Amino acid sequence: MLNPVIISVGIAVLAVFYYFQSKNTTVSFKIEKILLQSFNDYKKNGWPYDVYGPISHNHRNMPRSGEPLGWIIVDTIDTLMLGYNYTIDKENKKEFLEQIEFVENWVENELDYDMDAEVNIFETTIRMLGGLLSGYYLSKDLNVGKPEVYLNKAIDLANRLSLAFVNSPTGIPYSSVNLKTGEAIKNHVDNGASSTAEFTTLQLEFKYLASITGNKTYWDLAEQVYEPLYKINDILDKYDGLVPIYTLPDTAKFWGENIRFGSRGDSFYEYLLKQYLLTHEVMYYNLYRAAIDGMKKHLVKESFPSGLTYIAEKPNGLEFQASSKMDHLVCFMGGLLAMGATEGYTIKEARAMYFWNEDREDDWLLAMKLTHTCYQMYHQLPAGLSPEIVVFNYAKEQRTEFEEITMIDRQNWWTSPTDDFFVKPLDGHNLQRPETVESIMFMYHLSNDTTYREWGQEILNNFVEHTAVKENGRVEAYTSLNDCLHVPTGKRDNMESFWLAETLKYLYLLFQDNVDLREVVFNTEAHPFPVLDKTDMEKFNLTTGWSLE
Ligand SMILES: *[C@@H]1O[C@H](CO)[C@@H](O)[C@H](O)[C@H]1NC(C)=O
Ligand SMILES: *[C@@H]1O[C@H](CO)[C@@H](O)[C@H](O)[C@H]1NC(C)=O
Ligand SMILES: *[C@@H]1O[C@H](CO)[C@@H](O)[C@H](O)[C@H]1NC(C)=O
Ligand SMILES: *[C@@H]1O[C@H](CO)[C@@H](O)[C@H](O)[C@H]1NC(C)=O
Ligand SMILES: *[C@@H]1O[C@H](CO)[C@@H](O)[C@H](O)[C@H]1NC(C)=O
């Protein structure tokens, strides 16, 4: 007869074996160490300043008044909380908890937004308000720390940022606000135009806050930008759902015709889909759908000779010539298209859902192709790290005379081994950006294809090897690069806050197993918010306040 004790021990051993197998604890553990190392170096040499150089240890604050906004600190809270939740290493868990308590104490007792300083409302919303709100969510959900510390600070900050909306005659906010006086300030350049992606990337944060507090004003302020924007510019008919990157806040009219998915355009598209995922307002899926159809019609192209799919730009409007330049920033699109197709279900589940159709199948295929292209932007580079901007090559017969002339400059450009893309000398920097590993993380969990973990691991290794700051041969920290076109790489003395907030978080989540993408929506700075509760929305009358009729 079999001994039941032996059987249960056997089962336990097997369970542990499978747990370790699937979770890939080695890589997970390595990322935890990198995260804690970067954070400890900042704590020792840069605390509590907003801008930090890991090489010189120089530091300063963002506002001229000199007080810290918590730029790096607040951005990192939820990454520490996720490490605390997922780690299976006792020492690391203890250390994550200590760091969380240290940060929370600073937020509660030192951080004060009552400062006479002009801040950009987009950057401050996605990083600080977003970081505080996900700190609140995770603190509550994981039962770590004091949720109200984050919520109180979030409400205080949101009330100050809200004033940027008030002075504008169209409801489209000016680009900056003074946190103390509430004075709204137009962009000092670009004819006072606000970046289109900036005032359309505040909605997740303000809508989530409205659902927590029951204060509908946050919801209405954030939402009011869309009606004038869509109607005055006739976006669906004249622009096929796409938008130029500047808008004049006093008239809601576009300024210029430059259309792109890179800087100043990117998260306009991201937040259309993510509002739908967060709130289930169908209106926003429809606007997203129109934009993606417009993108496929006008901007999706293939490189020569290998046929890498990329998203081109239209600097002079839709009817004019495309430019084959693509920012690394565009690399979030793989993950976005995949989430739009599957709504967070695995691809296998999604294909069996009532909502599946040809458009979604096509979005999914495009997501795979774009993620592959973005991986090539790392894989083909000497340091295995992507530059800030690439220019794709395409067949000679498709070029205009003008482009043929600019292509002559190629002699001075770095050329990829397959000849599919180039890098201009001034674009060879790497800012530790997250967008490619972000897409890889989404693609992995939605497809369950281990290729994506291999790509992620390769990129992680390259960050470790080529961005490390060493002292006496010992790695102390990680930094941005001035030059990733040569090995050894040229270092830049700055650690971006999104290295901790986004890049390491997405890499970490790539190697976890229990990541349910139907439960949370990541804001554009990788801060997770829970999908809103339908009863809360009804209770507080949080509904789409406009239509295209
Ligand atoms: C963990 O991931 C690495 C790289 O992706 C891989 O080489 C290794 O086999 C994985 N280990 C397990 C146990 O899955
Ligand atoms: C709701 O939010 C608005 C905008 O910040 C603020 O002015 C107002 O005082 C808030 N209402 C309540 C009841 O807290
Ligand atoms: C994911 O793939 C692994 C094999 O690599 C398999 O064991 C597992 O069941 C798959 N999970 C899902 C949800 O399909
Ligand atoms: C915390 O970790 C557990 C176990 O790995 C996971 O199932 C859960 O989704 C995680 N929670 C959050 C909020 O990340
Ligand atoms: C609910 O919100 C909508 C849209 O903002 C508004 O038109 C309506 O009057 C509100 N209803 C109540 C009962 O406040």
Cα 212 to Cα 22, 160, 527: the distances in Å are: 36, 18, 16
- Which residue's CA is the closest to the ligand 2 atom numbered 12? 215
274 has a pLDDT exceeding 90: yes
Pocket test for ligand 5, best of 543, 544, 549 (most atoms within 8 A of CB): 543
pLDDT at 394: 81
At 378-419, the pLDDT tens digits run 999 999 999 999 999 987 666 666 666 666 677 789 999 999
89 has a pLDDT exceeding 50: yes
Closest CA to 440 of 514, 511, 344, 363: 511
Q: Does any ligand 3 atom lie closer than 6 A to the CB of residue 448?
A: yes
Q: Does any ligand 5 atom lie closer than 6 A to the CB of residue 546?
A: no
> For the residues 280-297, what does the mean pLDDT come to?
98
Cα 67 to Cα 129, 154, 440: the distances in Å are: 17, 18, 37
In whole angstroms, what is the distance from residue 139 CA to residue 147 CA? 5
Per-residue confidence band for 166, with pLDDT thresholds at 50, 70 and 90: confident
> For the residues 337-342, what does the mean pLDDT come to?
98
- Closest atom of ligand 5 to 542 CA is 2
At 53-62, the pLDDT tens digits run 999 999 999 9
Ligand 2 centre to CA of 248 (Å) is: 27
- Which residue's CA is the closest to the ligand 5 atom numbered 10? 541
The angle, 0 to 180 degrees and rounded to 10, between the axes of the packed helices 90-109 and 147-166 is 50
Q: Does any ligand 5 atom lie closer than 6 A to the CB of residue 545?
A: yes
**Who has greater pLDDT, 241 or 64?**
241
143 has a pLDDT exceeding 90: yes
Ligand 1 centre to CA of 3 (Å) is: 35
At 426-454, the pLDDT tens digits run 999 999 999 999 999 999 999 999 999 99
- Closest atom of ligand 4 to 516 CA is 9
**Who has greater pLDDT, 456 or 400?**
456
Ligand 2 site residues (CB inside 6 A) read 158-159, 162, 215, 217-218
pLDDT at 407: 67
Q: What are the tokens at 62? A: 């963002």
Grouping H, G, I as helix, E, B as strand and the rest as coil, residue 180 is coil
13 has a pLDDT exceeding 60: no
pLDDT at 66: 83
On average, the pLDDT of the chain sits at 94
- Which 8-state DSSP code applies to residue 409? G
- Which residue's CA is the closest to the ligand 1 atom numbered 13? 21
Q: What are the tokens at 56? A: 């010189």
pLDDT at 151: 98
Q: Does any ligand 5 atom lie closer than 6 A to the CB of residue 450?
A: no
pLDDT at 209: 98
Ligand 2 centre to CA of 514 (Å) is: 37
pLDDT at 231: 98
pLDDT at 14: 53
pLDDT at 404: 64
**Who has greater pLDDT, 25 or 53?**
53
In a domain, 417, yes or no: yes
Ligand 1 centre to CA of 372 (Å) is: 20
At 172-225, the pLDDT tens digits run 999 999 999 999 998 888 888 999 999 999 999 999 999 999 999 999 999 999
Q: What are the tokens at 210? A: 């409205």
Ligand with minimal distance to 165 CA? 2
Structural domains in the chain (count) = 1
pLDDT at 7: 63
Q: Does any ligand 4 atom lie closer than 6 A to the CB of residue 511?
A: no
In a domain, 546, yes or no: no
20 has a pLDDT exceeding 60: no
Token pair 């979770």 is found at: 23
- Pick left, alpha or beta for residue 33 (phi over 0 → left; psi -120 to 50 → alpha; otherwise beta): alpha
Structural domain containing residue 165: 4-539
In a domain, 174, yes or no: yes
4 has a pLDDT exceeding 80: no
Ligand with minimal distance to 458 CA? 1
Closest CA to 506 of 404, 425, 436, 428: 436
Per-residue confidence band for 168, with pLDDT thresholds at 50, 70 and 90: confident
Q: What are the tokens at 142? A: 């994981």
Tell whether 479 is in a known binding site: no
- Which residue's CA is the closest to the ligand 1 atom numbered 2? 24
Choose the weakest-confidence range: 23-27, 121-125, 215-219, 470-474: 23-27
pLDDT at 401: 61
- Closest atom of ligand 3 to 450 CA is 5
> Dihedral of CA 468/528/23/440: which sign?
negative
Active site members = 123, 266, 388, 435
- Closest atom of ligand 5 to 220 CA is 5
Ligand 2 centre to CA of 165 (Å) is: 13
- Which residue's CA is the closest to the ligand 4 atom numbered 1? 85
pLDDT at 25: 82
In a domain, 548, yes or no: no
- CATH number assigned to the domain comprising residue 143: 1.50.10.10
10 has a pLDDT exceeding 90: no
Per-residue confidence band for 21, with pLDDT thresholds at 50, 70 and 90: very low
Strands (E), 384-512: 389-392, 414-415, 421-423, 468-471, 474-478, 481-483, 490-491
Cα 226 to Cα 221, 316, 364, 406: the distances in Å are: 10, 23, 27, 38
Token pair 């809270």 is found at: 77
Q: Does any ligand 4 atom lie closer than 6 A to the CB of residue 522?
A: no
Q: What are the tokens at 394? A: 């395409």
- Which residue's CA is the closest to the ligand 5 atom numbered 14? 541
pLDDT at 410: 78
457 has a pLDDT exceeding 70: yes
Q: Does any ligand 5 atom lie closer than 6 A to the CB of residue 541?
A: yes
Ligand 2 centre to CA of 304 (Å) is: 55
> For the residues 239-251, what does the mean pLDDT come to?
97
Would you call the peptide bond into 63 cis, given omega within 30 degrees of 0 as the criterion? Answer: no
Ligand 1 centre to CA of 20 (Å) is: 10
